[in-house]
Amino acid sequence: MGLGEKLRNAMESLRKATAFEKGTVKEVVKEIQRALISADVEVAVVLELSKRIEKEALKEKLPKGLTRREHVLKVAYEELVKLLGGKGKEAPEKPKRILLVGLYGMGKTTTTAKLAKYYMKRGLGVGMICADSYRPAAYEQLLQLSEKAKIPFYGNPKEKNAAKIAEKGLKELKKADLVIVDSAGRDAFNQELVKEIKAIDKVLKADEKWLVLGADVGQLAKKQATAFHKAVGVNGVIITRMDGSAKGGGALAACAETDSSVYFIGTGEKLDDLELFDADRFLSRIMGYGDLQALLEKAKELGEEQELSPEELLKGEFNLDVFYKQLEASRKMGPLNKVAEMMGLKMQLPKEVLEMTEEKLDGFKVIMDSMTREEKENPGVLNKSRILRIAKGSGKSEANVRELIKQFKQMQRVFKKFRKLDEKKLEKMAAKGKGLDLAGMMKGFGFGKKKKKKHFK
């Protein structure tokens, strides 16, 4: 049974408990403890976390609008997110030189190719260098991966000096926006390895030095992260084999403890099995959505209602992220129709938007996954070459990408009008629509996005 399932069971027993007493809290906390310890989270850390949950769970005054049971669930969830790294630093969008380091078999070579593909999909010209002259098969391994992913590669199996390989590689790949360098591992952390990494980095001058760890190292991640950080100054971590080890939770918690930002996780052997890491998303996924997610939404909205004013709502940015959320929301419950009707806007809403199919929406999601943050926030920058790149990266046609942009622009126009309506008019319309909650619908419309972040991220 994996960490997710165990935590889910713990939360489940809290949900099912008929009476809510001190004993119930203790029982649930024990289950959470067992789950974390079996994922190899350090015992002292687990005890600290349990203490905090217990204290919060039993405090007299509860936040408005939540039952004690809901409050405990929420607190436990938030503590778990924090344990796994909370809102850590995000991976850079446009790194220039990445050096991957780590012990034997942690996944450096595989991850070199995965990262190259990841950044290539996001529009960077990427090259890879095999600076592992220690293990004879390393060159061949990366060469094969580079052919598979169609990514420029440099290596020299005859050269024994890794720094020299890096130097030559940089020259060969000087056109690349990003160069990713794979280095050799060792059985254990030692000075020979440190010397080698330093020599490579002297030539490379990497802006990013990332430590690669296998999830199976569990809490030992702390020791490795500390040692590598002290010796060569790593500024990010990648945890591989999250798919195959029960100890991933321990490795994540250990990294959080050493303030190491986990940028990516490896979730399989294939080149596409690499994900940006976000503690919140990771936890909610391994635990499953269902009740828990509904509860978090509820708490989030309660928090928001206290703060929201229509004025603030109207200041929200309309970008592709917001657009996508609207489409998703409208597919689920159709608030777009209702709001539009009420606002007298129905005629102006693009038919395609009102009749979005699930398939199309999924397609849009795939396309947006191949866009950079800049492109999503400011779709105005999408020119022909970017569109072609996105089409290629997402495996969709150019026409598909253009369709998304077209629909976005149509909605943007509607929004401009919508925003011009003054507050009084909005209030009057809300009153006419009796029982329809204006703030709620505007949320459905994608406003208030900035506020949302505050509570659980």
Ligand X SMILES: Nc1nc2c(ncn2[C@@H]2O[C@H](COP(=O)(O)OP(=O)(O)OP(=O)(O)O)[C@@H](O)[C@H]2O)c(=O)[nH]1
Which residues in this chain contact ligand X in the complex, by CB under 6 A? 102, 104-110, 132, 135, 138, 185, 240-241, 243-244, 266-269, 273
In the complex, the smallest distance separating the C-beta of residue 100 from Mg ion, rounded to whole angstroms, is 9
Cα–Cα distance measured from residue 281 to residue 453, given in angstroms and rounded to the nearest whole number: 13
* CB closer to Mg ion out of 166 and 320: 166
In the complex, the smallest distance separating the C-beta of residue 171 from ligand X, rounded to whole angstroms, is 24
* CB closer to ligand X out of 4 and 379: 4
* CB closer to Mg ion out of 137 and 388: 137
Q: Is the dihedral of CA 226, 232, 237, 240 positive or negative?
A: negative
Residue 249 contact, options ligand X, Mg ion, none, Cβ 5-8 Å cut-off depending on partner type = none
* CB closer to ligand X out of 211 and 314: 211
Q: State which residue has the least CB distance to ligand X.
A: 266
Strand partners, 240: 214
* CB closer to ligand X out of 107 and 152: 107
In the complex, the smallest distance separating the C-beta of residue 94 from ligand X, rounded to whole angstroms, is 24
What residue has token string 């034997």?
Answer: 104
In the complex, the smallest distance separating the C-beta of residue 115 from Mg ion, rounded to whole angstroms, is 13
Q: Is 146 in the site for Mg ion (CB under 5 A)?
A: no
Strand partners, 98: 180, 208
Residue 240 contact, options ligand X, Mg ion, none, Cβ 5-8 Å cut-off depending on partner type = ligand X
Asked if 316 and 447 touch (Cβ cutoff 8 Å), the reply is yes
Distances (CA, A) of 12 to 16, 52, 292: 6, 20, 9
Cα 77–chain centre separation: 17
Residue 289 contact, options ligand X, Mg ion, none, Cβ 5-8 Å cut-off depending on partner type = none
Among 50, 109, 326, 370, binds Mg ion (CB under 5 A): 109
In the complex, the smallest distance separating the C-beta of residue 124 from ligand X, rounded to whole angstroms, is 21
Residue 244 contact, options Mg ion, ligand X, none, Cβ 5-8 Å cut-off depending on partner type = ligand X
From 162, 172, 204, select the one nearest 146 (Cα to Cα): 172
Cα–Cα distance measured from residue 332 to residue 112, given in angstroms and rounded to the nearest whole number: 39
* CB closer to ligand X out of 271 and 421: 271
Burial string for 190-203 (b: 16+ CB within 10 Å, else e) reads: eeebbebbebbbeb
* CB closer to Mg ion out of 116 and 138: 138
If you count them, how many residues does the chain have? Answer: 457
- Which residues, 6+ apart, have CB-to-CB distance to 357 below 8 Å? none
Binding to Mg ion, residues 31-70 (CB under 5 A) = none
Q: What are phi and psi of 382, to 5 degrees?
A: -75, 100
In the complex, the smallest distance separating the C-beta of residue 73 from Mg ion, rounded to whole angstroms, is 43
Cα 310–chain centre separation: 30
In the complex, the smallest distance separating the C-beta of residue 132 from Mg ion, rounded to whole angstroms, is 5
Cα–Cα distance measured from residue 10 to residue 347, given in angstroms and rounded to the nearest whole number: 50
Asked if 138 and 162 touch (Cβ cutoff 8 Å), the reply is no
Residue 269 contact, options Mg ion, ligand X, none, Cβ 5-8 Å cut-off depending on partner type = ligand X
Q: Catalog residues that contact Mg ion under the rule CB under 5 A.
A: 108-109, 138
